[in-house]
Amino acid sequence: AQTVTQSQPEMSVQEAETVTLSCTYDTSESDYYLFWYKQPPSRQMILVIRQEAYKQQNATENRFSVNFQKAAKSFSLKISDSQLGDAAMYFCAYRSGQGAQKLVFGQGTRLTINP
C-alpha cells in the first residue's frame, strides 16, 4: 500500500520569506499523481498544486512550486513571498494512476506566518 509522510508537523515563517514543506511517499508504481492541498481554519480543502509523475518538469502556480524528485520519492512544496493568508494545514496527497480512486494523504504540516 502507498504511504505518504510529512515529517514536519509544524512550520513557521516570516511574512514575505520563503518556506519549504517536505513530503515523501512510498510506492512501487510508476504512474501516479501528487497533490498539495491547504486547509485553512475555514476547513475547506483547497488544491494548491498538482504534479503528474510522468512529467519531469516541476509544477508551478504563482508563488507555489514543487521540487519533484521521482527517484528519491520526494515532493516538497516551496512557498515564496509568504502571505498571512497562506497560514493553514498543508496536506501532501498521492493518487495511483492504476484505477484506485482514493487520495492517500500525509499527516499534514501546520504552517504559521509571522507578521
Per 3-state DSSP, what percentage of the chain is helix, strand, and coil (rounded to 5)? 5, 50, 45
- 84 φ, ψ (degrees, to nearest 5): -55, -30
Residue 99 near another protein by CB under 8 A: yes
Residue 64 near another protein by CB under 8 A: no
- Count of C-beta atoms within a 10 Å radius of residue 21: 23
Of the residues 2, 50, 74, 78, which one makes contact with another protein according to CB under 8 A: 50
Of the residues 21, 23, 25, 32, which one makes contact with another protein according to CB under 8 A: 32
Residue 11 near another protein by CB under 8 A: no
Strand 74-79 versus strand 64-69 pairing type: antiparallel
List interacting residues with another protein (CB under 8 A): 31-33, 35, 37, 42-47, 50, 52, 91, 95-103, 105-108
